[in-house]
Structure 1
C-alpha cells in the first residue's frame, strides 16, 4: 500500500496551482461572476494546458489521464472558480467520456479533438422540472421522423447551455418500454431551430449560467444518437461513479481553498497581541479543516484508484461524494468564522467558497440518495 503520489502528479498540481493563481485571481473570478460573463479566455488557456482532453485517448487529441490526475485537476479547478468547473467538468469528463466510450467513430473524430482544444463545450441535459434524482421518469420525448429525431420537452439545471455548442440530452425514445429501456442520448446543437435557452438566477458560479432548455419540435439527425437506441440508461449510469468521485474532488478542492485562505489570514491577523492562529479556538478550527480536507482527499483517491482498475466502486464513489461535499461545506463555514467580518467581503474570497460549496451536496445525486446507495452496497457486500 503506497500513499505517496507520483512526481508527475505533484508536478500537475504545482502547474495548475500556479496557473490558476496567475490567471484566475480572486478579484477576476468575482468580477466575472458579478457581471455574469463567461470567461472564455480562461477556458481556452486551461484547454491549452491539456485539461479538456484528460478523459480520452491520444488518438483523439487527449491524454487518457489516470483517475488520480483527473481528481487533482478537479480539485484545482474547483479551488479556482466554480464557474470554470461548471463549464469544464461536464464537457471534459461526463460528455467527452460518454462519446469516447459509446459514440460512433465519426462522432469521436469530429467532436473529441475539438473538446480537447477547447473549441467545443457541452452541457448536460439530464434533469427536468419533475425528474431530478429519479432520471428514469423523464418525459422529454424524441420520435423518429425519417432520418431525424424530433424532440419535445424541457430540461432544467442545464448549466452552460447558453454558451455550449451541444446539449448531451437524455430523452425518451420509446414511451412503451420500461423506464430504464426506453431512454436514449442525443447530441442537440444549441443553435437548433425550436430550442430556447433561458438563464436562471442562482447563488454561485454566476459566470456560467444555469439554464432552462425548452425543446419544441427540435430536429436532430439520427447520426446524433450516442450509443444504441433505447440504451441511454446504460450510458448515463456507467458514468455516474466517475461523476460522483469528481464531485468529491470538487468539495475537496473548495475545502483546500478555504483552508489555505484561512490559514494565511490567521497567521497575519493580530488580535490581543498575537496572531490569531495562536488562539486555541482558531487553531482548532484550522485543525478540523485540515482533517476534513485530508479525509475527503483519501476517500476520493481510494474511489478513483478502484475506478482506474475496473473494480466495483459504487459505494466508494458515493462515500467520496458525500464526505467530500460536506467537508467542503464545513471548511467554508469555519473559514467564514476565522475571517470574521472580512469573510463577508467579496475581495477576500471566502464568501464565494461559502456560496459555492452547498451545490455539491445536491448535484450528482443528493447526499440523502447517496446514503441510501451506501446502505444498499453495505447490504450487498455483506452477503
Structure 2
C-alpha cells in the first residue's frame, strides 16, 4: 500500500533520505547520550547547515518569491518525514510563515536575516490563562501612544526565547473586537521592559536554544512600523501558522514512528527469549502489526490532506485531524516500541526514548487532543451543537 507521489516529490524524498543517512544519522551516537535535541556543537551545526544549503533543503519550503524552493504542503510533509527519521535533524530555515506578511522594511530587518540563518524568531501567543482561546482570553495588551505602542502582559511556553533575536507577539489592541482586535507585533530582544525565565521541561533539558520560557512585558515600547500585517490581523496570522504547523506535524510523527518500527523489527529478529527470537512471540507480533497500521494510516491521511491543501482546499479541519492522529497514533506506536525494546529502549543509546517524549508532548503542544476533537466535532455536528461557551 503506497500513496502515489509526483515524480518531483519522489526525487526530493530520495535526496532528503540520502542526506539524512549520510550526514545526520552517523552523528546520533554523539548527541543521543548528551540528550541534546536539534542543537549541536558549532562545528557540526556549521557542517549540517552547509549541507542543507548545498542540497537545497535549507529553503525548499520557502516560497519562490522569497528566494526559496517553493515546495508545497505535500513535498514539505514528505521532506519532514525523512528529516525526522533521524534523531539528529538537518537544519532548515526556521521561519514562522506569518513573517511572509512583512512589508519591505520588515523584510530587510527581520525576514531575510531569518532566511539566511542570521536571525532567529520566536512565537509568543500562549499565556498563563490563555491557550486554545486567545481571541477571548488573551490579556497581554498594547496601547498606542503617538507612533509607539506600549505592551504589557505575560506570555507562557515560548520556545526559542533564550536564543531568538525577536518575537512575533500578538497583543490585544481592541478588546471589544475579540479575535479581530488582536495585532501582531515584531518585538526585538533587548527592548527595555522585556524579561524572561526558562521553564524546565522533560523535552529540552539540555537544549537552551529550544527551551521553553515565560516572557514578561512591562511598558515595552514598540514602534508602529513593527506591526506585522496590519492592525487587528494578529489572531488571523497566528492561526494560519498554527494550521500549517498542525498539518506538517504528520511528517514529524511519521519519521519517528517509521524509525522506531524499523528498529523494533530488527530487534525482534535478533533478541532471544527462552531460546527463540521474540519475533516468534505473538505478543510482539501483535504490537508490530499495530505499529505498522498506525504508520500506514497516518501516512495515507497526511499525504491526502497535504495534497488537498496544495489544490487550495480549506485545511483547517484537516489540520486538526492530522495533528490529533499524528499525536495519538505516534504516542501509541512509540509506546509499543518502548515495550518491545524493553530496557534498551529506555537508554539514550537509541532514539526510542527521545521519540517517545516528543510524541507524548505533541498531544499537548499545538493544541491538545481534546481541543482538536472539539474542532472536529463542530465540523461534524455544527457550531450550534458544539460551542464551548454555551455547551458543557
1:288-303 correspondence to structure 2 within 5 Å: 288-303=290-305
Q: Cα–Cα, structure 1 residues 37 and 309, in superposed 2: closer, same or farther, change >3 Å?
A: closer
Instruction: Name the CA distance, whole Å, in 2 between partners of 1:35 and 1:370.
Output: 27
Q: Cα–Cα, structure 1 residues 368 and 35, in superposed 2: closer, same or farther, change >3 Å?
A: closer
The unaligned stretches of length 5 or more in structure 1 are: none
Question: Residue 171 of structure 1: CA displacement?
Answer: 0.9
1:232-381 correspondence to structure 2 within 5 Å: 232-380=234-382
Question: Residue 292 of structure 1: CA displacement?
Answer: 0.3
**Which residue of 1 is the match for residue 146 of structure 2?**
146
Question: Residue 373 of structure 1: CA displacement?
Answer: 0.8
Deviation per CA, 1:252-274: give whole Å up to 9, x if none: 22212221221222233233344
Instruction: Name the CA distance, whole Å, in 2 between partners of 1:122 and 1:39.
Output: 20
The counterpart of 1:76, out of the listed 72, 82, 93, is 82
**Which residue of 1 is the match for residue 388 of structure 2?**
none
The counterpart of 1:67, out of the listed 39, 62, 73, is 73
1:184 aligns with 2:186: no
**Which residue of 1 is the match for residue 230 of structure 2?**
228
Instruction: Name the CA distance, whole Å, in 2 between partners of 1:79 and 1:379.
Output: 37
Deviation per CA, 1:49-79: give whole Å up to 9, x if none: 4445344323322122111111123223443
**Which residue of 2 is the match for residue 20 of structure 1?**
20
Instruction: Name the CA distance, whole Å, in 2 between partners of 1:355 and 1:46.
Output: 28
SS in 2 for 1:162: coil
The unaligned stretches of length 5 or more in structure 2 are: 384-392
Q: Mean alpha-carbon deviation: is it higher for 58-67 or for 324-333? A: 58-67
Question: Residue 130 of structure 1: CA displacement?
Answer: 0.5
Q: Cα–Cα, structure 1 residues 139 and 32, in superposed 2: closer, same or farther, change >3 Å?
A: farther
Computed over aligned residues only, the root mean square deviation of the Cα atoms, in angstroms, reads: 2.6
Question: Residue 337 of structure 1: CA displacement?
Answer: 0.9
Deviation per CA, 1:313-354: give whole Å up to 9, x if none: 222221111111111101111111111111111112211111
Question: Residue 148 of structure 1: CA displacement?
Answer: 2.1
**TM-score, reference length from structure 2:** 0.86
**Which residue of 1 is the match for residue 213 of structure 2?**
211
**Which residue of 2 is the match for residue 108 of structure 1?**
107
SS in 2 for 1:133: coil
Q: Cα–Cα, structure 1 residues 272 and 45, in superposed 2: closer, same or farther, change >3 Å?
A: farther
Deviation per CA, 1:246-291: give whole Å up to 9, x if none: 2232222221222122122223323334432233321221111111
**TM-score, reference length from structure 1:** 0.88
Structure with bigger helix share is 1
Q: Cα–Cα, structure 1 residues 316 and 188, in superposed 2: closer, same or farther, change >3 Å?
A: same
Q: Cα–Cα, structure 1 residues 76 and 187, in superposed 2: closer, same or farther, change >3 Å?
A: farther
SS in 2 for 1:79: coil
Number of residue-to-residue matches in the alignment:
372
Instruction: Name the CA distance, whole Å, in 2 between partners of 1:108 and 1:59.
Output: 12
